[in-house]
Amino acid sequence: MKINHYFIQTGRIDASLIFNPSTKMTKKNYFISFVLATTIFTIAACNKPHTNTRSIASTPQKEVVKINTPVFNSDSAYNYVAKQVAFGPRVPNSEAHKKCAKYLANELKRFGAEVIVQEADVVAFDKTVLKAKNIIGQFYPEKNNRILLFAHWDSRPFADYDKDPANYNTPIDGASDGASGVGILMEIARLIGKTGHNLGVDIIFFDAEDYGQPDHIKLPHAPDSWCLGSQYWAQNPHKKNYYARYGILLDMVGAKGALFHLERHSLQFAPTLTKKIWETAANLGFSSHFINAHGGYITDDHVYVNQHLNIPCVDIIQYDPNSRTSFGTYWHTLDDTMDNIDQLTLKAVGQTVLEVIYDEK
């Protein structure tokens, strides 16, 4: 990996810039150097209060390392998606859910993140108590300037949009809806561990996002029955006064030919970041996925992080205004399997997010 070093001058004047013995000095050069040095010392003497001189002279040079954007490996991301799906549906309180949580936490540790598994009992729309686990991987936890990346890792207990009503209560694989966002973030975590980053980065896998009240149940509309893990974390973050410059949520980011429209909450919460993400995608050649047109207002994990913690968040989520559910034909059906996952989509999203976060100073 090529690393460029940039130096920021912090107020020290280096005498070798003025009197450099290795440079061939002509009479004219001596004269120019003399005038230059006299001028600089005069200006310095006139402008700086006397007491400050020592502290300025002893300030060390600050080094800023520009790290080139790593290359997103979609093969690796695909394997992280497959690995989750192989546990079976990651429905809260199930055995597969427990095993997958351990796997994700251990992998993040292996990449060098400091991991916290935040456990919480949250109550679902049907009064089931869910033993939720938010899995939090922190890179450079000591840094104050931070970026937050997140996705939900649970999968839906009901295939309530399946073509066969007999499947309405069957859990889904959630290859795209759940595992794809986590798979991309696992690959990004691996790359951050390998390459480093100038800022702190938190990667959070939220639980109990997809236990929301099914539409076919004749109960009043309950948007807050979704996103239970992120609602809990946003009101009880793992660190007091937690803040990040911004957050990026990945949801349903693995399906073949997925379209990502500008999600409307994101445009309201984080207009600059939303535009930057879509522009970056276009510059990288991914505008067939990242459509420069408005989508819907989608209740998702980013809404609560924004509302409670005031962190501007963007949701990259598959949204097709022309499909029946707006979310692609596999959504909340038994068809959301590995057959649905395309490495080209993983690459488009993964490389775009990497480019955006490695552009941060």
315 touches Zn ion by CB under 5 A = no
**Cβ-based nearer residue to ligand AHN, 192 or 208:** 208
Residue ranges in contact with ligand AHN by CB under 6 A: 177, 210, 212, 223, 226, 251-252, 298-300
CB of 113 to Zn ion, least distance (A): 26
The binder of Zn ion chosen from 107, 177, 300, 335 (CB under 5 A): 177
CB of 318 to ligand AHN, least distance (A): 9
**Cβ-based nearer residue to Zn ion, 90 or 347:** 90
Q: Of the ranges 80-88, 175-183, 309-317, 339-347, which one interacts with Zn ion (CB under 5 A)? A: 175-183
Residue 299 site contact among ligand AHN, Zn ion, none (CB < 5 to 8 Å, cut-off depends on kind): ligand AHN
Residue 305 site contact among Zn ion, ligand AHN, none (CB < 5 to 8 Å, cut-off depends on kind): none
Taking the C-alpha atoms of 278, 283, 286 and 291 in order, what is their torsion angle to the nearest 10 degrees?
A: 40
Residue 315 site contact among Zn ion, ligand AHN, none (CB < 5 to 8 Å, cut-off depends on kind): none
Taking the C-alpha atoms of 139, 142, 146 and 147 in order, what is their torsion angle to the nearest 10 degrees?
A: 10
Rounded to whole angstroms, the Cα distance separating 256 from 235 reads: 35
The runs of H, that is alpha helices, within 48-166 are 53-58, 74-86, 95-110
Does residue 305 contact residue 244 with C-beta atoms inside 8 Å? no
Residue 4 gets which letter from DSSP? Answer: E
Residue 298 site contact among ligand AHN, Zn ion, none (CB < 5 to 8 Å, cut-off depends on kind): ligand AHN
DSSP structure string for 23-57? SPPPHHHHHHHHHHHHHHHHHHHHHS-GGGHHHHH
- Least Cα distance to 96 among 160, 162, 173 occurs for 173
Rounded to whole angstroms, the Cα distance separating 255 from 51 reads: 64
CB of 317 to ligand AHN, least distance (A): 7
210 touches Zn ion by CB under 5 A = yes
**Cβ-based nearer residue to ligand AHN, 280 or 333:** 333
Residues binding Zn ion (CB under 5 A): 156, 177, 210
